[in-house]
Every structure is written in C-alpha cells, then in structure tokens.
Amino acid sequence: MTGANRWSSLPCGRWSKYVVLGIWLVVLAVAAPMAGKLTGAQSNEASSWLPKNAEATRVVKESKRFTPADTYPAVIVYDRGGAPVTAADQAKAAADVPALKTVQGDPKGDKPPRVLADSVQGPVLAKDGRAIQTIVNVKVGNDGWDLLGPAVKDYRDIARKGDSGLKAHLTGPAGYAGDFSIVFSGFDKTLLLVTAAIVIAILLVTYRSPILWLAPLLCVGVALMGSEAVVYLLAEHAGLTVNGQAAFILTVLVFGAGTDYALLLIARYREELRRHRDRHEAMAIALHRAGPAILASGSTVALSMLCLLLATLNSTKSMGPVMAIGVAVALAAMLTLLPALLVICGRWVFWPRRPRFGSDEPTERGAWARVGAKVAVRPRLTWIVTAVVLGALSFGLFGLKTGSLPSKDAFSSGKPDSVTGEAVLVKHFPAGSGSPVQIITNDGTQDAVRAALASVPAITDVKPAGTNPGRPVDGRVYLEGTLNAPPDAEQGFDAVKDARGAAHGVPGAKAEVGGASAVTLDVSDASHHDQNVVIPVVLVVVLLILAALLRALVAPLILVATVVLSFAAALGVSALMFDHVFGFASADPSFPLWAFVFLVALGTDYNIFLMTRVHEEARRHGTWRGALIGLAATGGVITSAGAVLAGTFAALGSLPLVFVTELGFTVAFGVLLDTFVVRSVLVTALNLDLGRHLWWPSALSRATGPAEAGETTPAPVGRGD
C-alpha cells in the first residue's frame, strides 16, 4: 500500500482484520471472568498502604506479636443530646455487650462466618455523666473492608435498639473504615455507567453520528476488562497492592485515554478516506501517520505512571503499575481492534456525514484555522499575555492546604454516623479514645520510657497492653497510651513527635512510637518525600520522549515548560475553589503528586498530538505554515479529546469523598485549560514566533523559506499538496 508500511497494514488488511477481531474476542472471553474478581483482590487496609521503612510501619509489624493484627476499635458512644444519662441507660449499654460479642462476619469465598469481636471494653460512664462509651475491638483479619461495612451496620443496629430516647453512634477507626466501605460498595458499577454516559454524549456531539460512537466505546470496554484482568492477576499472584481509589481511577483513565487515542485515529482515518477510494489503504496510511503519535502519547503516560514506583508510600507506588497497565491495554486496543472494526464496517459507520472520496477537508476552513490566523497576527504578544495570565492563576498554589485530611472532613457530601459520633465523643471523652498511642521498647526499659512519656501532656495513662500485658516477647515490651487530642489533627501529630523525641532519648530502649496518629504522620512525610523524588523524574522522562519523537531539543524544553505552567495554573485555581467554593478542609498530602502525574502525562499527550502534525507539515511547508496547518488539522480532535478526558475525570466527583473529588476536579479543569488555551493558543503562538529554531539541532532548524525568513502575515492553511 502506498505511503504505509507492513505493520500499519496488519490490523486493517482484507483478511487480517478478521484475525485481529478474533484475537480480541478470545482476550475478552478470558479476561471478563477475572475482571469481575478485581474488587475482591483489593487491599483497603491502612497497613497495606504504609511506607516500608517508616517508624509507624515497624510498630505495626512488631505489634502483631503482642496484640491481634488487623484489629479495628469500634467506639460506640451513647448520649441524650447533652442531658445526663440515666441508670436505665447504663443498664441498656451493659445489656448490649453480649449481643455485640455475637456479631459475625461473612467473608467472601469458602471461609465460614466467624465472630468479629476480639474483645469488648466497657461500658464506661463519662466523667461528666452525660455519655457512655463501649469499645469493640473488631478483628477482621485479611478480609478488611469486606467485613467492616456489614459489621458496623450490625453494631449500630444493636446499640440503637430500643425507644428510650437514648442516642447511639459508632465511630473510631472501625466506624470510619466501615463508612468508607459503604461508600465504595457498589460504586464501581455506578462510576462505570456515569463515565460511559459522559463518553457517549461527547462522542455523539463530536461525530453527530448515531453509529460511530459504538466503535470506540466497545474498544474501551474491552480494554477496561483486559486491564482489570491483568491487574487482578498481579494482585493475586505478584503481590501488587490495589485499593478502591486505584480501581476507580483506572476506570476513568482507560475510558478517557482510550477514547482520546480513538479520536485521534478516527480523525486521521476520516481525513485519509477523502484522499483514497479503498478504506483499507486509508486506514493503513492513517495508522502509519497517526500511529507513532498515539504510541508515543500512550508510552509517555504509561512511563510517567511507572515513575510512581519510586515512591515510598505503597498506596502511591501501587498506583503506577495499575495505571500503566490500563494505558498499555487501551493503547493496544485502539491501534489494533479499533482499526479492524472500522474497516470491517466501512464508510457507512460515519453516517450521515460519510467522508466521500475527493471531497474537501473541512478542517482547512474550520474554527481552529480561524484561531490560528488570529494568533499569527501577533504571535509574540499572544504567548506573552497568555503566559502572564497562567502565571497569575498559579499564585493560588500558595493557598493550597496539603496537611493531613482528618477523617471527619474526608466526606464531600453527607455526614456519616462516624463523623457525628466523633463530635459527640470528644465532648465527653479523650479525643483519642479508640486510637491509642502504641509504644514498643526493650524489656527492662519500660519504666524509663513511661517516665519519659510523662513529659508529653497530650498522652496519658501509658501502661502495658496487649494479649498478655507486660510479658516480653523476644526481649521487647508493648505499651499503650491514651491520646488526649484528635488522632488525625495537628495536635495529635505534635503529640506523636513529642512522644518519639522523649522515647528515643531513653538510653538502650530502642523505643518506637506508632498508632493511628503516627501512621497518618508518617504517610504525610512520605508523600512530601515522594513529590521531591517523582516529579523531577517524570519531567525528565517526558523531555526525553519528546526529544526522541521531534528529533529536537528546543521544542521539547518549551513544551515541558508549558505543561508545568499549565499544571501550576490548574492547581492554583483548584486551591481557590477548594477553599472558597467547595469548603474543603484541606487536600490529602499525596494529592499534588497524583494531580501532577496525571496532568503532565496527559498534557504531554496533547503536545504530541499537535507537534507531531506540525513537525510533519513543517518538513513540507516550513514551520510557519506547518504550525497553522497542524492547529487546523488537530485543534478539533484535541479539544474533543480534552472534553472526553475532562468529563471522565469529572465523573469522580460523584463519589462522595474529598480526595477523589479534588483529584477529579483538578484533572478535569487542567485538561480543559490545556486543550483550549495552552495547546491551541500558547504553543501555537510559540511555534509561530520561534519558527525553525524550534527544531534545533535537527536539519529542519536550518531549513529556510519565506516563513522562516521573517513572514509576519497569516498564511493560508490549506495543505497545498
């Protein structure tokens, strides 16, 4: 086939297209059953997210020798809205204890149901006589959230039984974990439907065809099942940690990125159908011309995601392979399955706007051709003004709060009972009830450690604890203390820091301090470390890919600078929205890194879409006309792709969790800013202003022509060939 190579002809050959379709049908048949098991393979326990070498992680591992592992305290608090509780209320709380001890969990698989309460402490009357507290230590083992959601519901039902006017709430680590479990339960199907609906709507508007949208949507669906199956296999047999957030983001990334690649290929295929009678030849040439850009785009995203493997925080590190697998499978589907489907269907799939052979290319007179002509009048002024505006938007970054996000502020809508229960609990009991500070020290030094911790006002009642209190195991002793500060607020973190300073100062103790507050503190520290390590590596990876693709150094450096500026502006606007519109308390410490990786990787996608076409046209017409033709030809598909990706990430906002909502909003806004302003205006203006110097040191930088010699008037954007 003229203009195409053998590789690009394989997915769309007269017979090979059916072979490609058959292979993907086999993949679908094998992958579908495994994809459905991904939810059961998730690890949503905090212990599976921790940084490997953090002090809190070491305490978690050591404490398993003294107290049951994977045990979550469920704190039940009874009150009468501020009025003193009665003797009958105390009797009711005491009568609930035997029932609380009988609650059973029903694990998935062949495991038999079992009693979850490892022990019950209380009931204890508050010093002010206005509340009662009972702590149920819930042992979930390896089943985690699968058990906590139903168990928390059962505990609440027991505590609320009766009509005496006594109120009961369940909070503490188990209460929050159970409420998070309830939020995540079944949401994967809801998110899938919402995301699919958004993609369908945008594709219908983009193509104005009642048929064409089916092809990319079917391919995305197959890619999602395939990637979920691979992730499931790695989670089950290779130790890959997958949590609920990663599974949800995988869905929107595969839908968004996969549809983007489909849009680019279909746009080029439609363009080639106007030049070639044979649809097989048209697709082969479309793959030959657009395939490298799509492959480079997908590789950039996948490699950027794999940079997260350098993170120390497991929840961040595991995100890298999961997202990279999703992008890789989507890329494979769009470069093989989609071309096969389109050529099997023929031109009628574009009905009612079928691209006829010999018809004019509409992009030559489209909206983006007109935008290019206006930018070309004063390109230098255009890019300077645009950069200044984006820089001004970036100042919002200074108001971004990235401290720990307290559990009570982690829900973006509604107020689960765990939040209400915590508010009641802190009025009548120590704020850290149910979240003890854990200390492990050498045997013989426990008294000295307790004396040292007496200097920390926020920690009281330090004493031996565990299954056999005071008994050493392998020369180590386990202690617990009561935290008189909120465990997920700055006061709790300061108490942990002070406790570590005091305990570490005891000679020969080798004492370490852990617990819920320590875990959150170490996660926050690890997140800041990961940002400093991963962000520079991602920028280097992106720069190298762009340099290899464009065979230049100046253009990649400028493109990376525009991506960083776009990210800063998106994060600045997001910070203002979180604080003044949504009213969020803060952002998760890992939020900036996740937002950076997604926005830079996906923003580079659009750079590649635009600049590969500009480079292609510049070789024939010079950089000036090449920049205008490139914008005219790709402006529509880039904005459509941006709308799809923004819509899919915006779907994350339907999950009532602050972290996911913040990530969805920031990526959606950043992508729209990137496609409508940065790629289409800022980069095009820079292309026109710098001209052939963009391509230094390649031979194209030394090419001369009217445009490169100083042309300052808009050139026509027709192809001229």
Give the pLDDT score at 108. 60
- Mean pLDDT over residues 160-165, rounded? 82
| Same domain, yes or no: 107 and 198 | no
The most distant pair of C-alpha atoms in the chain lies apart, rounded to whole Å, by 95
Domain count, the chain: 3
The predicted pLDDT at position 104 comes to 77
Tokens of 394: 């970036």
pLDDT top residue among 63 and 142: 63
44: domain CATH number? 1.20.1640.10
Task: Quickly state the pLDDT bin for 719 (edges 50, 70, 90).
Answer: very low
Give the C-alpha distances (Å, rounded to integers) separating 636 from 48, 268, 446, 659. Answer: 44, 12, 69, 32
- Beta-bridge mates of residue 105: 114
The model carries a pTM of 0.81
pLDDT exceeds 60 at position 143: no
Confidence check: pLDDT of 1 > 70: no
Q: Is 509 helix (H, G, I), strand (E, B) or coil?
A: coil
Domain end, chosen from 334, 359, 384, is at: 359
Closest CA to 242 of 301, 194, 184, 198: 184
- Residue where a domain terminates, one of 153, 183, 213: 183
Structure confidence by residue, pLDDT tens digits, 25-62: 999 999 988 887 777 666 656 556 677 778 888 888 88
SS3 620: helix
The CB-side HSE value for 415 (13 A sphere, CA atoms) comes to 7
Q: What residue numbers bound the domain in which 249 lies?
A: 1-50+186-359
Domain membership of residue 220 (yes or no) is yes
For β-strands 114-115 and 104-105, DSSP reports them as antiparallel
Shared domain for 112 and 36, answered yes or no, is no
Please tell me the distance from the alpha carbon of residue 145 to that of residue 43, in angstroms, as a whole number.
8
Least confident stretch, 26-40, 183-197, 658-672: 183-197
* End-to-end CA gap in the chain: 19
Sign of CA dihedral 189, 193, 194, 199: positive
The mean pLDDT of the chain is 84
- Of the two residues 154 and 238, the one the predictor is more confident about is 154
Confidence of residue 425 (pLDDT cuts 50, 70, 90): confident
pLDDT (tens digit, 9 = 90+) per residue, 445-473?
988 999 998 888 888 888 888 778 888 88
Which residues, including other chains, have CB under 8 Å from residue 381's CB and lie 6 or more apart?
Answer: none
Q: What is the DSSP string of 529-585?
A: HHHHHHHHHHHHHHHHHHHHHHT-SHHHHHHHHHHHHHHHHHHHHHHHHIIIII--S
- Output the domain CATH number for residue 493: 3.30.70.260
Cα-trace Rg, the chain: 30
One domain for residues 96 and 232: no
Burial status of residue 69 (CB atoms within 10 A of its CB: 0-12, 13-18, 19 or more): middle
Label each residue of 89-124 as H, E or C: HHHHHHHHHHHHCCCEECCCCCCCCEECEEEEEEEE
Lowest mean pLDDT among 246-255, 506-515, 567-576: 246-255
pLDDT of residue 74: 87
- List for the chain the helix, strand, coil content (%; round to 5): 65, 10, 25
- The reply to whether 718 falls in a domain is no
- How far apart, in whole angstroms, are the C-alpha atoms of residue 625 and residue 714? 8
Rounded distance, CA 161 to CA 138, Å?
Answer: 20
697 CB burial (10 A radius; 0-12, 13-18, 19+): exposed
| Same structural domain, 250 and 312 | yes
Higher-scoring residue by pLDDT: 67, 719: 67
Is residue 34 domain-shared with residue 149, that is, in the same domain? no
As a whole number, mean pLDDT of residues 643-659 equals 83
Which pLDDT score, from 0 to 100, does residue 331 have?
A: 93
pLDDT band at 537 (very low <50, low <70, confident <90, very high): very high
Q: With 80 as the cut, is the pLDDT of residue 355 above it?
A: no
Q: Which two tokens stand for residue 697?
A: 């040191």
Residue 473 main-chain phi, psi, to 5 deg? -130, 120
Which contiguous run of DSSP H or E holds residue 428?
helix 417-428
Same domain, 45 and 124: no
In a domain, 557, yes or no: no
The pLDDT confidence band at residue 382, using thresholds 50, 70 and 90, is very high
Measured distance CA(114)–CA(42) in Å, rounded: 21
Distance CA 467, CA 168 (A): 29
- Kindly write down the DSSP assignment for every residue of 261-321, as one continuous string: HHHHHHHHHHHHHTT-S-HHHHHHHHHHHHHHHHHHHHHHHHHHHHGGGG-SSHHHHTHHH
- Domain boundary (167, 183, 199) is at 183
In a domain, 579, yes or no: no
Lowest mean pLDDT among 82-86, 127-131, 186-190, 502-506: 186-190
User: Is residue 201 domain-shared with residue 260, that is, in the same domain?
Assistant: yes
Same domain, yes or no, for 346 and 200?
yes
Residue 361 pLDDT: 61
CB count, 10 Å around CB of 353? 12
> Does 718 score more than 50 pLDDT?
no
The residue with greater pLDDT, 653 or 341, is 341
What integer pLDDT is reported at residue 48 of this predicted model? 61
105 and 11, same domain (yes or no): no
CATH classification of the domain holding 95: 3.30.70
Instruction: Note whether residue 155 is domain-resident.
Output: yes
Residue 58 lies in a domain: no
Q: Mark whether 36 and 8 lie in a shared domain.
A: yes
Spell out the residues 6+ positions from residue 610 whose beta carbon is closer than 8 angstroms to its own: 630, 631, 634, 638, 679, 683, 684
Dump pLDDT digits (tens) for 543-568.
999 998 888 999 999 999 999 999 99
- pLDDT the model gives residue 536: 93
160 domain residue, yes or no: yes
In a domain, 641, yes or no: no
Per DSSP, the three-state class of 483 is strand
- How far is residue 689 CA from its own chain's centroid? 37
Map tokens 């905090």 to a residue. 46
Asked whether residue 701 carries a pLDDT value surpassing 90, the answer given is no
Is the pLDDT at 109 greater than 60? The verdict is: no
The confidence band for 707, taking pLDDT boundaries of 50, 70 and 90, is: very low
For residue 249, what pLDDT is reported?
Answer: 83
Residues 95, 84 share a domain: yes
Does residue 285 share a domain with residue 226?
Answer: yes
